[in-house]
Structure 1
Amino acid sequence: MTAPLVLTLSCADRPGITAKVTGFMFERGGNVLEAQQFNDRESDAFFMRVEFDPGVVSREVLKAEFAPLAAGFGMEWKLALRDRPRRVMIMVSKFDHCLASLLYRWRIGELAMDPVAIVSNHPRESIRHTDIGDLPFHHLPVTAETKAAQEAQVRAIAAETGAELVVLARYMQILSDEQAAHFAGRCINIHHSFLPGFKGAKPYHQAHARGVKMIGATAHYVTRDLDEGPIIHQDAEAISHADSPEDLVRKGRDIESRVLAEAVRLHLQERVLLNGQRTVVFGG
């Protein structure tokens, strides 16, 4: 028996896709463990995620045999090992609560990831409240004059470690267009606001100035447009007129930590499919 696999796909919607995909698995002795699909009526697109036990057929053989079927439907698709930990590079600045949350969830087995590097624009002492153990730490300071060179170092570390996902765990630097394009579809940011409201710097202070009654956090894929990438996960919490900006920051730390962790989990489990500027997120 081989390890369980996850097939994800998207294509133009048409009759028979589900039948063809599940039939393909049945004919090869596969057993479907979980299946979800979504038909987007607005874009006339079809999305599907299937977890299955492939039986005795290898992933390489299945990929080769599925390719003609996928081509016939014009699919964008991926066939991944379900339980393989993905290699993750985490970037952080001075606020390490999201980093601490990710590492805790990794250590207890909640996140199937392999942290291959922690990159910060501040010294290691800046995140002294978080135990990173012997994980590789890279201090890469950045200024306007050194930004291009620093980003090249980040890309080099990602390449050397084989990082499949980059997580901006309150990394308080705006990525250049080149950097955002390089990591397109595999870089998740946590923004301490319920987007699309209060983009940019100090969103909690912006929210306080507007007298909002809810604050939130948004995890999204990074794109060239600041804080406008496809949203993966969001959450919110009620506040009152008595809360100061500092209270909002304090309450926001918890929201940010859990929202980012959930977005990372969904990505690691191949549950997020891009749909233009939006996402299709299959829960589980």
Structure 2
Amino acid sequence: MNTHTFKIIACTGFALFAFAGNSVLCRLALGDGAIDAASFTAIRLFSGIIMLGVILLATKNNQTPPAKGSWSAAFMLFLYAITFSFAYISLDTGTGALILFGAVQLTMIIASLLSGTKLHVTEWLGTLIAFSGFVYLVQPSLSTPSFTGFVLMTIAGIAWGVYTLKGRGTKSPLADTSYNFLRTLPFILLLMLPIIYSSHLSREGIFLAVLSGAIASGIGYAVWYIALKGLSVIQAAVVQLTVPIIAALGGVIFANEIISLQLVLSSLMVLGGILIVLIGRYYVNGLAANKTS
């Protein structure tokens, strides 16, 4: 394994754990009523701005002008964050996760197909197995979602899928992520002005929002942009299905939840499907090359 491959694997792993941590922090804050959804979103994004700004200034290279991100990516980031928070007001965790990651995966696969990419049969098979494993994990907790919650979480998934796609060509992940977060500031102000006197805050809620923004979102998203340099669109879409598995295992470790046979089987399906997507095409192409040689 060369250094570049190891870097991509390490960054991907860190980002996925950050995403899972983000979900846990959001559920803890909103589920317990420690903070309202708008304030959680605002503090989360603002904390990301501060954290990334400090890191960018500390690592600034004067010889290479930093990237500036884009307003479109910043809007998608804000749209994801705000709809994600408000969707969980009316959705249970399992239903929300299924809608979110299903929308992310479908958005990225459709975008890949529209760009002219043809999926290998192994990529179709792996994607189907991985998504089936995810559905099997959350199926027992599914309930009929509210129409508003369904629409909001679907928008969140589409927005995150588009934000991910916009980061695949970045040459400066940290700078792009920092400026994307910074550009959400006008949206944050517009969000908070109407509710400045009616927001619900607590120390616990603020603390969870800061952790979510500074660590799980700010640093996590910058590392994800680095990982995207070595992942195809399909690979990036499918590996994100590990996030619910990681979050479920986090519940076992930190919330004393029981490891069930269902969790084990669904984990094997998701991880097995991802393995097929990641190595299937190269394995089949290798066999074809050997036959023609």
TM-score tier after normalising by the smaller chain length:
under 0.3
The answer to which structure, 1 or 2, has the higher relative contact order (CA under 8 A, 6+ apart) is 2
Return the TM-score normalized by structure 2: 0.22
Return the TM-score normalized by structure 1: 0.23
Give the helix-richer structure, 1 or 2. 2
